[in-house]
Amino acid sequence: MPEEYRPAVTVVDDAPAASRAAAAIIADVVRDDPRALLGLATGGTMIPVYAELAAIVARGELSLAQVASFNLDEYVGLPPDHPQSYRAFMEAHLAGPAGMDPARIEIPSGMAPDPQAEADRYEALLAARGPVALQLLGLGGNGHIGFNEPGSAIDSRTRVVTLDPRTVADNARFFGQGEEVPHQAISMGVATILSARRILLVATGAGKAGAVRAMLEGPVGPDCPASFLRRHPSVQVILDEAAAAGLTQRE
Ligand code: F6R
């Protein structure tokens, strides 16, 4: 049997408190190593986390100017200047407000003519530059991490993935009415994520409660890809009360 670890779970009152806690952890990693390589996520959960980080930078308590990062994923078919591309997200929420150098933010290209070749290039670049010091993750309502949807294998690497209908529906809120939500993405695989030295997952809101419970208390397996985090020795999970509401075992 492969070893199973217990993620360190912190439950705070609400999403602003979770965002502050996550930003403080990221800031500590960068203070320890101003040139740290970070693994970064996008999505609604990360917006207030990055805003907190930008506030720490604005107070003069931290600089992100030297850090480098690899993002988890990008939609296939969206150009970098599309407002819903993850490249645009990173520039709007992190590079601009928190002073990260956009040239040091690696994101798969959603416009590559051969998306799988782009995924292979990205995996190889990360393997050459890694390991990531801290991988930040959100959690899909269906238990995905990155865009590793249910059914993803523990040994998966960066690849082209087809988004689950629930993910497409969840992400539709970011797109304009009538605008097509991409159905494919290039995503780091589960094994790619697990190769980070340390992992920090943030989940907030009642919509995540079922996935949080499956991640921490369900079987470890592809039905809930986030459960594979229990195969990594250094995982911290920050939840708000609403996301933690389904847990039966709380310290
Ligand atoms: C984003 C990503 C996804 C999101 C997840 C949660 O880069 O890889 O796994 O973290 O879908 O999204 P939100 O935070 O919008 O609920």
Task: Name residue 135's beta-bridge partners.
Answer: 39, 199
pLDDT value of position 219: 98
CA atoms within 13 A on the CB side of 22: 35
> How far is the centre of ligand 1, averaged over its atoms, from the C-alpha of 35 (Å)?
25
| Ligand 1 atom 12: residue of nearest CA | 43
pLDDT in tens, the chain (251 residues): 789 999 999 999 999 999 999 999 999 999 999 999 999 999 999 999 999 999 999 999 999 999 999 999 999 999 999 999 999 999 999 999 999 999 999 999 999 999 999 999 999 999 999 999 999 999 999 999 999 999 999 999 999 999 999 999 999 999 988 888 999 999 999 999 999 999 999 999 999 999 999 999 999 999 999 999 999 999 999 999 999 999 998 76
| Ligand 1 atom 5: residue of nearest CA | 140
Index of the ligand 1 atom closest to the CA of residue 205: 16
| Strands 199-203, 235-240: pairing kind | parallel
> How far is the centre of ligand 1, averaged over its atoms, from the C-alpha of 138 (Å)?
5
Q: Is 164 helix (H, G, I), strand (E, B) or coil?
A: coil
| Ligand 1 atom 2: residue of nearest CA | 146
Q: Is 143 helix (H, G, I), strand (E, B) or coil?
A: coil
pLDDT value of position 250: 78
pLDDT value of position 108: 98
> How far is the centre of ligand 1, averaged over its atoms, from the C-alpha of 101 (Å)?
22
The model's pTM is 0.98
> How far is the centre of ligand 1, averaged over its atoms, from the C-alpha of 60 (Å)?
29
Question: What would the two tokens of residue 128 be?
Answer: 């050459």
Candidates 51, 98, 58, 72; CA nearest to 185 is 72
pLDDT value of position 74: 97
Index of the ligand 1 atom closest to the CA of residue 73: 7
Index of the ligand 1 atom closest to the CA of residue 137: 10
pLDDT value of position 206: 98
**What Cα–Cα distance (Å) separates residue 33 from each residue in 26, 29, 67, 108?**
11, 6, 8, 25
DSSP state of 227: G
Catalytic residues: 73, 142, 144, 149
| Ligand 1 atom 1: residue of nearest CA | 42
Query: Given ligand 1 and candidates 38, 40, 42, which is best to mutate, with the most ligand atoms within 8 Å of its CB?
Result: 42
pLDDT value of position 103: 96
pLDDT value of position 27: 98
pLDDT value of position 177: 86
The pocket around ligand 1, CB under 6 angstroms, is made up of 41-45, 72-73, 138-140, 144-147
Sequence letter at residue 43: G
> How far is the centre of ligand 1, averaged over its atoms, from the C-alpha of 44 (Å)?
7
Index of the ligand 1 atom closest to the CA of residue 187: 8
Question: What would the two tokens of residue 210 be?
Answer: 């079922």
